[in-house]
Amino acid sequence: MRTTKLPNGEAVPVLGLGTWMMGEKASLRAAEIAALKLGLDLGMTLIDTAEMYGDGGAEEIVAEAIKGRRDETFIVSKVLPSNASARGTVAACERSLKRLRTDRIDLYLLHWRGNFALQETIDAFHALRAQGKIRHWGVSNFDLADMEELMACDGGTDVASNQVLYNPQRRGIDFDLAPWSRQHAIPIMAYSPVEQGRLLKHSALLKIAERHGASAAQVCLAWAMRDRATIAIPKGTDPAHVRDNRAAHDLTMTPDDLADIDRAFPPPTRAKPLEMI
């Protein structure tokens, strides 16, 4: 598994496991746990979750999946903006730790901007890191202006990652945020890299997939990871889906493939508002 580096030099996999919409149905619990375990077996040892997912249920699914394997996993979780006050961030983290059944979260993100001052949340992150409850902190759904404001805060340059919506159809960040992030060595984490399955029947992606004997989902994932720095976090809930995602790691986009995607999904020519799902 290829890796990219956090700003402090720590290596993390470029392909991880997403858990959005996991932990919502008891009938799917066993399958979701098995899917995450298989992903770990295949080298996708970064698991992304959040207190919001399944109202904490996804974190409980992760806890079951990593039982006995905590040291080989890199856990990402998130605090809701409504909880991101100085005290609220700490309390939310402690609830997540309890659900995850672990003593630390490897990367703790502010899920999106809310009403609390960034400095207040950053200070809480630093306090949690000093206590060993988190190892790194970052943000999610931050545009370029948000990132510049964050970096100007006291301790803001410690930000380790920014998780945003990114796929061929949602590539507005390619104009400004992605180049800025590369310049500052802050890796992007791409959520919804296949647009929740809505890109799977797109003719341009299917044409590229046919050339490689691959699937449209694998093309989307390989495209997201093409700079070898962006981290893709697709969700997979059955063995075939997880294995399909893992195989995307070994798919290399050719110049012709990239040109075809640019024709089908033109890159941005001006700054655009950050998109969210």
Catalytic (active-site) positions: 53
d(CA 3, CA 182): 15
What are the DSSP E strand ranges found in 24-68? 46-48
| Residues comprising the chain, all counted | 277
Residue 144: name the closest of 276, 2, 272, 14 by CA.
272
Give the CA distances from residue 182 to residues 93, 139, 147, 187, 228, in Å, rounded to whole numbers and listed in that order: 28, 16, 13, 7, 11
DSSP letter at 43? T
Q: Count other Cβ atoms within 10 Å, centred on residue 152.
A: 11
13 three-state secondary structure: strand
- The residue to which tokens 């919804």 are assigned: 192
